[in-house]
Amino acid sequence: MSALFSPIRLGDLELSNRIVVAPMCQYSADDGCANDWHTTHLGMLANSGAGLVVIEATHVDRAARITHGCVGLYSDANEAALARVIAHCKRIGTAKFAVQLAHSGRKGSSQRPWEGGKGLHQNGGLDQPWPTIGPSAITFGEGWAVPREMEKADFERVTEQFVEAAKRAVRLGFDAAEMHIAHGYLLHSIASPISNKRSDGYSAGRQAGWRFIAEIAEAIRAAVPKGFPVGARITGSDWADGGMTPDDCVALATMLREAGLDYIDVSSGGVAAGIHNPTHPGYNVPMAERVKREAGIASRAVGLIADPAHAEEIIASGKADQVALGRAFLDNPHWGWMAAEALGADVARPPQYLRVGRKMWAKPGKA
Whether residue 171 is contained in a domain is answered as yes
Cα gap 271→208, rounded to integer Å: 19
- 255, pLDDT greater than 80: yes
Does position 86 have pLDDT exceeding 90, yes or no? yes
Q: Which residue in 255, 235, 257 sits closest to 246, CA to CA?
A: 235
What is the model's pLDDT at position 246? 98
Range of weakest confidence among 3-7, 111-115, 183-187, 300-304: 111-115
Whether 239 has a pLDDT exceeding 90, the answer reads: yes
Write b or e for each residue in 47-64: b if 16 or more Cβ atoms lie within 10 A of its Cβ, otherwise e: bbbbbbbbbbbbbbbebb
Q: What is the pLDDT of residue 367?
A: 44
- Read off the pLDDT of each residue in 150-178 and give the average, rounded to a whole number: 98
Question: What is the CATH number for 115?
Answer: 3.20.20.70
Yes or no: say if 57 and 107 are a contact pair by the CB < 8 Å rule: no
What integer pLDDT is reported at residue 116 of this predicted model? Answer: 87
Q: Tell me: pLDDT of 358 over 80.
A: no
Which of 281, 280, 286, 247 has the alpha carbon at shortest distance from 266? 286
DSSP β-ladder status, 13-15 and 176-181: unpaired
Residue 118 confidence class, pLDDT cut points 50, 70, 90: confident
User: Whole-model pTM?
Assistant: 0.95
Residue 367 falls inside a structural domain: no
pLDDT at 174 over 80: yes
Active-site hit among 27, 185, 202, 283: 185
Tell me which residue range forms the domain holding 60: 8-360
Task: Tell me the mean pLDDT in the region 234-247.
Answer: 97
Q: Which amino acid is at 337?
A: W
Alpha carbon 99 to its chain centroid, in Å, reads 8
Average of per-residue pLDDT across 144-164? 97
Residue 335: the pLDDT is 97
Average pLDDT value for residue range 352-364: 70
List pLDDT tens digits, range 22-51. Answer: 999 999 999 999 999 999 999 999 999 999
Q: Exposed/middle/buried for 359, CB within 10 Å: 0-12, 13-18, 19+?
A: exposed
For residues 185 and 196, give the distance between their C-alpha atoms in angstroms, rounded to a whole number: 12
Does residue 68 sit within a domain? Answer: yes
Report whether 103 contacts 132 (CB < 8 A).
no
HSE toward the beta carbon, residue 133, CA cutoff 13 A: 18
pLDDT band at 359 (very low <50, low <70, confident <90, very high): low
Query: Is 3 a domain residue?
Result: no
In a domain, 366, yes or no: no
CA atoms of 163 and 103, how far apart (whole Å): 12
Q: Work out the percent of the chain whose per-residue pLDDT is above 90.
A: 90
Residue 83 inside a domain? The answer is: yes
Q: Per-residue pLDDT for 125 more than 70? A: no
> What is the dihedral angle through the alpha carbons of 81, 87, 88, 91, rounded to the nearest 10 degrees?
180
Measure CA 25 to chain center: 10
Taking alpha carbons only, the member of 63, 98, 273, 65 closest to residue 183 is 273
356 in a structural domain: yes
353 is catalytic: no
Give a yes or no: residue 256 inside a domain: yes
pLDDT value for 337: 95
Average pLDDT, rounded, for the chain: 95
- Better-predicted residue by pLDDT, 356 or 258: 258
First vs last Cα of the chain: how many Å apart? 32
Share of the chain above pLDDT 70, in %: 96
How many structural domains is the chain composed of? 1
- Residue 365 pLDDT level (bands cut at 50, 70, 90): low
Res. 120: pLDDT tops 50: yes
